[in-house]
Structure 1
Amino acid sequence: MFSRIRLKTALKAAAAHLILSIAIAVFCAALVFGFWYPSPFDQLARGREIFLLVMVIDAVCGPLLTFIVFDRKKPRSELWRDLAIIGLIQISALGYGISSLMNARPVWIAFEGDRFRVVSVPDINLNQLHLAPESLQHLSLTGPKLLGVRLATNSDAEFKESIFLALDGVPPAFRPARWIQYEMQVQEIIKTARPLRNLLQKYPMQKSTLDKIAIQNNLHLDRLGYMPLLAEGTLEWTVIIGLEDGKPKAYLALDAWD
């Protein structure tokens, strides 16, 4: 049973713990969204949902446990032991959550024939990473990088296998043996990109948004194209491509498929 005095001191301790938890959450947010999941990949790779779940659990459970156990009448050693156990539990849970976010981070924005695909660490068989060119064997810790993908053709010995793997949920962008430097496919990307007027016909209300993207990149709308952008669980994103350098200029939550 909480006395008025104990309730007051327990609330103060829990409030202090909550402030500390919020400060740690802000630091973690800067790490997660500043490096591993820069916008819009916090949405595309579902980093936002995972982070919020981890932080809510961490910021609620720690202060709540502190509120329950905090009692000035306890021997100092017992009180510190209880608080240390709570801190250890909270740090362990936070470490596990942040580690999970790091291990699920997006590492590539891969051009795959007529689309782009977001590739995250769990999509890749890390045992096959040595099959990629040496320069592509490092998985980014500072947001996804651009990647080219060599598609199998009819003349390739593994053509049928490649089709079966794709049908089984392992598209070429997930296979290190198919990775190549993005710069090697720039001309193909420029040629494949769909004219932006097609997107404007489908989404006329997006004219101002596209105008803003063009101005920010010092390009005319005619010098921008687009392709569908695939990520786990969604087909409704679009990547806007510069037709001069073949690089993504913006990502929009629009369905680019005809």
Structure 2
Amino acid sequence: MSAVLIGLIALWMFNVWYPEPFRSLSGGLTLFFLIAFVDLLLGPGATLVVSSPGKSKREWRTDVALIVLVQLAALFYGVWTVYQARPVFLAFEIDRFRAIHAIEIPIELLGSGPPDTRVLPAYGPRLVAVRPFVDAKEEADATMAALGGVHLGARPDLWMSYENAVPQILEAARPIGELLNRRLDALAAWNDSSSYGSLNADEVLYLPLVGRSSFWTILLDRHNAHPVGYLPIDPYDP
């Protein structure tokens, strides 16, 4: 039973909450393995602890029921934690993109974003952009908050429509050919992917993409700045 539930959770997680590349970029795979490890070991381990040949059938059924309840509670808590940690926005921040997770957004600021961002998406991340600062004080305050752990892209009061930010994004992005010529690993990743291999490099730009603990490269359509793919390459490396 546990294995079936874990399988269903995996299907939902990796197709809805953590679609590629976020299962790696946002730690979805690590979180899933943690849930599976705890839940699949909890049942057999607890059964071994409480098992005793001298127990009556009633006592045995009671123990098994308690074990099932504990497993379900642990599973529910794990899934809730994964849900709270899911990526909800892909934010353009001045010269990069950042994966923004539900737990990173200050709840008190959520109502100050654009109307269509005031409810956190439950079905994969949406595109937003950080607007230009209104003055030097706002920039300084936002910088200090970022140093304290609240990234610019996690601030709804600094968000603007992604479509309105397209000119700034296209200006900040660089032709993918520059990265492919400079990095053999980027060229190999490009060539190894059938979906990217069909793209015309002249039509693709790139920018860094910041994840939970790693940098990737986001590929953008040079006409509308919409994402067309991702490379597991840190473009900041020389």
Q: How many residues align?
A: 237
Matched residue, 1:13: none
* The structure with more radius of gyration: 1
**How far 1:71 moved relative to its partner?**
5.7
Does the aligned pair in 1 maintain the 2:91–2:153 contact within 8 Å? yes
User: Structure 1 175/126 Cα, relative in aligned 2: closer, same or farther at 3 Å?
Assistant: same
Q: Secondary structure of the residue that 1:109 maps to in structure 2?
A: strand
Describe the superposition over 1:189-236 as per-residue Cα deviations: whole angstroms up to 9, x where unpaired: 1222111121112223443543576965864211101000112222x3
CA distance in 2, matches of 1:139, 1:227: 25
CA distance in 2, matches of 1:157, 1:225: 32
- 1:203 equivalent to 2:183? Answer yes
- 1:224 equivalent to 2:204? Answer yes
- 1:172 equivalent to 2:152? Answer yes
After TM superposition, the structure 1 = structure 2 runs for residues 106-255 of structure 1, keeping only pairs within 5 Å, are: 106-152=87-133, 155=135, 157-207=137-187, 209-211=189-191, 219-234=199-214, 236-255=215-234
**How far 1:65 moved relative to its partner?**
2.1
Q: Which runs of 5+ in 2 are unaligned?
A: none
TM-score (norm 2): 0.91
After TM superposition, the structure 1 = structure 2 runs for residues 47-126 of structure 1, keeping only pairs within 5 Å, are: 47-70=28-51, 74-126=55-107
Amino acid at match of 2:22: F
Matched residue, 2:23: 42
Does the aligned pair in 2 maintain the 1:150–1:172 contact within 8 Å? no
Amino acid at match of 1:248: P
User: Structure 1 166/143 Cα, relative in aligned 2: closer, same or farther at 3 Å?
Assistant: same
Does the aligned pair in 2 maintain the 1:106–1:144 contact within 8 Å? yes
Q: Secondary structure of the residue that 1:162 maps to in structure 2?
A: helix
Provide the alpha-carbon RMSD of the alignment.
2.1
Q: Which runs of 5+ in 1 are unaligned?
A: 1-19
Q: Secondary structure of the residue that 1:225 maps to in structure 2?
A: strand
Amino acid at match of 2:56: P
CA distance in 1, matches of 2:222, 2:93: 17
Q: Secondary structure of the residue that 2:98 maps to in structure 1?
A: strand
User: Percent identity among equivalent residues?
Assistant: 32
Q: Secondary structure of the residue that 2:15 maps to in structure 1?
A: helix
